[in-house]
Structure 1
Amino acid sequence: MARSKELLNFSVGLETGLQAEVRRMLTSGLKCELEALADKDFQYLTEKYLLRKLKEKDWLD
């Protein structure tokens, strides 16, 4: 969950829908796709995966 909090701090200026999803995950206490990826390769997550998700507007509502 610590990496998710890092992501919220890093994501200043990013789509607020994404931030809401990360907050929802933190509130639920459940791992989701973002945290699972962050555990593997945080650089890939921030530089490629999230940019693609934002471009395609592909996040949970």
Structure 2
Amino acid sequence: MPLTNIQGRHVEKYRSFKNFLNHNHNALDIIADMELLYYSGKPFSLSVAKHKYNELSDAVR
């Protein structure tokens, strides 16, 4: 639901919270990908693990 009054401190807080939720969602998706990779039982390379780790690191900054 978009804000109707787009000025004020509450708008800044709302946008910060929405941004936090987006980053959290992205981080959880990456963690789920890493879990699937681990529990699949298939071999994976260190470069794939590093790539996922870097994605996760970027998502939580």
- TM-score bracket, normalised by the shorter chain, equals 0.3 to 0.5
Which protein shows a greater Rg? 2
TM-score by length of 1: 0.35
TM-score by length of 2: 0.35
